[in-house]
Structure 1
Amino acid sequence: MMKVIKKDTFALCVPITPRNAGELMAQVQAASAAEPDFIEWRRDYFEPIALNEEQELLSKIKEIRGGVGLIYTYRSPLEGGIAQVEEAHRLTYILGCIACDGADYIDVELDSSAAFKAGVKKALVEKECGLILSQHHFDECVSEEAIEAIFSDMIQDGADILKLAMMPKTQKDVRQAIAAIIRAGTFHDVPIISILMGMVGGITRILPDYTGGSLSFATVVDSTAPGQLSVSEVRRMRKSMGINV
């Protein structure tokens, strides 16, 4: 049964960045032991491997992670992906993951080509797997008008989850971004993953459910974005505030 990200409901996701099969198994075990809601496999860190071999690995890690959900992310090099591969190559492996029921969600960049997104959406029909459409701004926070336009485009493209990551420089950036995300959330029924990167935006990683989002990414193994906290830090801070973790 598919593990679901719920609107305005806190959930923790541990990103993993294995380079080979041995590291994949070890990192899935370590992440699962922390009992998060989800693991995100950043597939772009992984070594080249045949598609059928990867599908076998997805089957094996499903047994290891048990009730922990999986987000499969083969990140584009245009938005922080490590592997310098063509879009067609990434699409082949994403479709392979969907075909073998390997993940609960697939993360795809909003700015992917129309053909790329159409291929993913076609593969998801009648599958228990959701679509996260994402966009990343590593140098700035975009305007409120831009945020609403981004979310509207994601909705139009069939996203089950809207994901937007931005880099604030000041507290004013943080306040304005949070206000815009919360306002946007009142117009859309689907869950939002909103991340303000770096130390300045740390509140969105601790209290995503209070700042317009749902899922928060926290580390057990390696960080995959500026400002990520550990699972234990996020839980400790929430507990200190009297908030259920």
Structure 2
Amino acid sequence: MNTIKVRNIEIGVGKPKIIVPIVGTSHEEIIREAKSFKEIPLDVVEWRVDWFEHSQDWNAVETLLKDLRLVLANTPILMTFRTSKEGGKKAIDIKDYIALNVNAAKSGLVDLVDVELFSGNNVVQTIIEQAHACGVKVVVSNHDFVQTPAKSDIVNRLRMMQDLDADIPKIAVMPKNMKDVLTLLAATEEMVNDYADRPIITMSMGTMGIISRLAGESFGSSMTFGAAQTASAPGQMDVADLNDVLNAIHQAI
């Protein structure tokens, strides 16, 4: 499997890399949270721009990104507008969604952008092409907050993301029982061993799915999310505790 290099982080080798989200609403709140990350064990910061009160004002977004880059220095930044249909804070017109992601890539201030698979193939391909032209990596994602699809459906969605040239395919699903968690883990193992030629991210959400956020090195998920102040999805552990567990598993392996 090929790895992905983002600044000084190599994704797809060793223990899963830790992503910590920022979900503040104001410029001041977001920058204050970013400053608190200096002593936190993390690899990538995800800015959830859909939480930002001026998320559809590019000038405000760019100004905040400039300040965020200054504070985070060489830490990779993943910018994500999670739409309401996939668990985000708000809806967005598809033209604005494309423009936001393309402008972010062109700004040189972000290292990765997140694009939702079910935005449509043309939308995904447009953003990927524009981002890649700027040297920015793309996470293509899908989130199901209602259920866990069949294993074949999970694998097929990940393969579709890979076929669209996502740098990192990502899927997050909601379990109704522990068998659903096993379904997600089995789909991860199948994708990694039979189809993937690049890193993937998978997780089962909620408290039942916590094990999936810890077992990436065994099953094949290359990154995981930990919460510093506010979780961006159900089931995210405290980042310090998460790092301790990942280190223990990595040493044992």
1:211-226 residue pairs with structure 2 within 5 A? Answer: 211-226=219-234
- Structure 2 Cα separation of the partners of residues 194 and 227 of structure 1: 13
Aligned twin of 2:86:
79
| 10, 21, 24: which one aligns with 2:27 | 21
Q: 1:59 aligns to what?
A: 66
Q: How does 1:65-214 map to 2 (within 5 A)?
A: 65-186=72-193, 187-214=195-222
Partner in structure 2 of residue 7 of structure 1 = 12
Which structure 2 segments of 5+ residues have no match? none
Q: What letter matches 1:159 in structure 2?
A: A
Partner amino acid for 1:2? V
C-alpha deviation, 1:5, in angstroms? 5.1
Q: What's the counterpart of residue 234 of structure 1?
A: 242
| Change in CA separation of 1:135 and 1:183 when aligned onto 2, cut-off 3 Å | same
The worse-fitting range, judged by mean Cα deviation, of 141-150 and 1-10 is: 1-10
Compute the displacement of 1:237 (Å).
2.8
Inter-partner Cα distance in structure 2 for 1:46 and 1:22: 11
Distance 2:218 2:65 in 1: 33
2:42 aligned with 1:36, yes or no?
yes
SS at match of 1:181: helix
Shift of 1:57: 2.0
State the distance in 2 between where 1:144 and 1:2 align. 30
- What's the CA shift for 1:77? 1.6
Answer whether contact 2:54 2:61 (CA < 8 A) is retained.
no
Could you tell me which amino acid in structure 2 is paired with residue 193 of structure 1? I
Give the paired residue count.
244
